[in-house]
Amino acid sequence: MLKFLSKWILCALAIGLFSTNINAQNYPANSPVALNGKLKVSGTQLVNECGNPIQLRGMSTHGPQWFRNCYSESSLDVLVKDWGISIFRLAMYVEEQGYITNPSGWRQWIDSYVDYCGQRGIYCLIDWHVLNPGNPNAHKDDAIEFWKYMSQKHGQKAHVLYEICNEPNGVGWSDVKNYATDVVKAIRDNNDNTVIIIGTPTWSQDVDIASSDKVNGTNIMYTLHFYAGSHRGELRSKAQSALNNNAPIFVTEFGTSHASGDANYSPDETKTWISWLNERKISWVCWSFSDKGEVSATLVPGSCNSRNWSNLSECGQLIKGLISENKIPFTACDGNNNNGGDQNQNNNNNGGDQNQNNNNNGGDQNQNNNNNGGDQNQNNNNNGGDQNQNNNQQQDDPVSYPTLVQNINNGDVYRIVNKKSGKVMTIENGSDLKQAKRDENDKKQMFRLKETDGYYFMQNDDTKFMLTNKYVNNDGTKISQEEISEYDNPSQKWSIKKVNEWFTFSNKSDYSASKVLSVENASKQDNADIVIFTSNNQDEQLWGLEYVYTPTAVDNILFKDCVLTPTVISNEFHIVTSTGEETIVDIYTPNGVHCKHIEKECTYDVSDLAKGNYIVVVSGLDGNRILTQLIIKK
């Protein structure tokens, strides 16, 4: 009897009677997966197993290592039944307390949520969340091991998709492509048909570059990410170029805010993006279903602890509405793949021709505008150049400059002088970077250059804000200012390079380093914009530094998420954070003797210390902040 039961148990296990995993036969009736089956790629379109074009709409987790209490079967039920999502993304961070700290534990977590999604009949996107470091090759061995496991475990499930590198940054497409080629091979050794989505450089914005040099294989798509508060028509143009190159796009992450995830809530631009995606049946997933205290979170802080899944933020209310608005209905497969395929092919051709005509018309219109604008700019440059040349010939006095320094002293304040015009950088209209006639007393014309990790913050001495290109590196992009970011924000960091006796400025977010700060149209006029432009070593792109002063008793430390302002008040030294955040302060003598340790304060009284130089090391309470040093002169 025992022998018989053993054989019966083995047979039962073989056919899955005791398995809780979902297979193609038991997805809930009329659910997205039951209607569409296993997905594939046709041309630029994501299609169901019958070949009908579909669009998925859904939500992404934030990092489960930080917001694990936001994710449960009950919260997933709300997203499926109340919001109407058809896909749920599992953002598995690689570092930052993520996968590599506990591979087996995080694999089990993913396995559970793959099954939870299957039990509800929605698609599950497994995301290898490359972010820091930005080069996916830094953990390629871990990635290959991860994807071998996932493709063996979940590859045959109809509801699973793979995203193999979230947001590569600081590397070019050739590096990402080499990584993707190896990972795709590892997956395809186990599973030959699950859709694979590949991240693109510059935080998954360079889909146009990837589209010109695609990864070999079938059922491959390319990642596009946008944040409506930072990315607008320029990025949509890049996306359209990729589509025109027959590269299928999947928006696996977008936000309603600035690219940092916080500030600059932009509902109108979000709607513009969603309309653009819906018109092209491009699938999209929103960041993030969490209660983090930031604009892009869809829940109000504290909602996850109280399990109040209907406590929506302003962003959450918007996204919930957009998921259900003008939803493209799923059509069930009738089992006749050929008929469905032929019907789909006609629809795709008709829709494709219509879209192609629209795209071409739009492209021609843009091209004409660009050409006209380019011709106009070219004429202006030529006319302006001839005019300047004639003026220079007629005038006795050339452009004059103040005394310029040849080296940067970290933390000092400078005026930044253009070689062509002799004018200086300034902030006008509250935010815009322009050039103006030098004014000895105008602090808007003064910038503190603070070096960190080989790059410089350019902090305006009047506003204390940082210069930024907001991740846009197109020719003509205007430069503005914003508060120092709460995360490591490359768009606020600048590479300063010496060119003979002058300097050039390029933004860290431009990984090619081919664009530099330039006066628009090489103008010598006051109020001319300072923009990003392709480097050509012309005088309008060269800058000199006029030393103004060295901050001493009153200084500003560039902290990771705020500006710390040390101040002398009545012979007492205080440090106050601009955000009111508590910090840890340790004070040392120059030879390393520890003098004082203060925790959980915002203002620090050090009047008991003798006069002299000290080193102040400031860090956040989470222990993960970047330490900052300061010499105190009392």
pLDDT value at residue 350: 34
Using alpha carbons, list the distances in angstroms from residue 324 to 328, 356, 391, 416.
9, 27, 63, 51
pLDDT value at residue 628: 42
> Which of 49, 95, 234, 253 does the annotation list as catalytic?
253
> Consecutive 10-residue runs of the chain (634 residues): their mean pLDDT?
34 35 68 96 94 95 95 96 97 93 94 95 98 94 97 96 96 97 97 96 96 96 96 93 95 94 92 94 97 94 94 96 88 49 34 37 38 38 38 52 88 93 92 91 91 88 86 86 73 91 91 87 92 92 91 43 44 45 57 60 55 55 41 42
pLDDT value at residue 484: 74
The values of phi and psi at residue 257, to 5°, are -125, -165
Cis status of the peptide bond prior to 301, with omega within 30 of 0: no
User: For 228, which DSSP code?
Assistant: T
Tell me the three state secondary structure of residue 173: helix
Tokens found for residue 575 = 């440090």
For tokens 């006066």, the residue is: 519
Which residues face 40 on adjacent strands? 47
CB 431 within 8 Å of CB 480: yes
pLDDT value at residue 568: 42
Tokens found for residue 21 = 């995993």
Residue boundaries of the structural domains of the chain: 29-328, 413-549, 557-633
Query: CA 274 to CA 450: how far, in whole Å?
Result: 39
Sign of CA dihedral 341, 26, 61, 102: negative
Residues 186, 187, 189, 193: what is their CA dihedral angle, to the nearest 10 degrees? -150
User: For 129, which DSSP code?
Assistant: E
CB 476 within 8 Å of CB 532: yes
For tokens 């789909």, the residue is: 344
Which residues face 392 on adjacent strands? none
pLDDT value at residue 250: 98
253 as an active site residue: the answer is: yes
- Fold topology of 413-549: Trefoil (Acidic Fibroblast Growth Factor, subunit A) (2.80.10)
Query: CA 449 to CA 445: how far, in whole Å?
Result: 13
pLDDT value at residue 381: 38
Query: Would you give the distance in Å from CA 119 to the centre of its chain?
Result: 32
Query: CA 559 to CA 471: how far, in whole Å?
Result: 21
Question: Hey, how many other C-beta atoms are within 10 angstroms of the C-beta on 98?
Answer: 21
- Report the first-to-last Cα separation within the chain, whole angstroms: 90
Tell me which architecture the domain covering 29-328 has in CATH: Alpha-Beta Barrel (3.20)
Tokens found for residue 62 = 């934030």
Using alpha carbons, list the distances in angstroms from residue 375 to 190, 198, 255, 385, 489.
54, 38, 36, 15, 35
Query: CA 195 to CA 198: how far, in whole Å?
Result: 10
Query: CA 403 to CA 567: how far, in whole Å?
Result: 30
Please list, in sequence order, all residues whose beta carbon lies within 8 angstroms of the beta carbon of residue 293, skipping any fewer than 6 positions away.
301
Query: CA 97 to CA 288: how far, in whole Å?
Result: 18
Tell me the CB-side half-sphere exposure of residue 202, using CA atoms within 13 A: 25
Please list, in sequence order, all residues whose beta carbon lies within 8 angstroms of the beta carbon of residue 98, skipping any fewer than 6 positions away.
63, 65, 92, 106, 129
Question: Do 413-549 and 29-328 have the same topology in CATH?
Answer: no
Rg (CA), the chain: 28
pLDDT value at residue 537: 86
Query: CA 62 to CA 288: how far, in whole Å?
Result: 6
pLDDT value at residue 620: 46
Residues 151, 145, 42, 351: what is their CA dihedral angle, to the nearest 10 degrees? 110
Amino acid letter for position 201: P
pLDDT value at residue 356: 37
For tokens 């915002």, the residue is: 602
The pTM score is: 0.54
pLDDT value at residue 610: 61
> Which of 95, 96, 145, 167 does the annotation list as catalytic?
167
Question: Hey, how many other C-beta atoms are within 10 angstroms of the C-beta on 470?
Answer: 23
572 as an active site residue: the answer is: no
Tell me which architecture the domain covering 557-633 has in CATH: Sandwich (2.60)
Tokens found for residue 150 = 């996932």
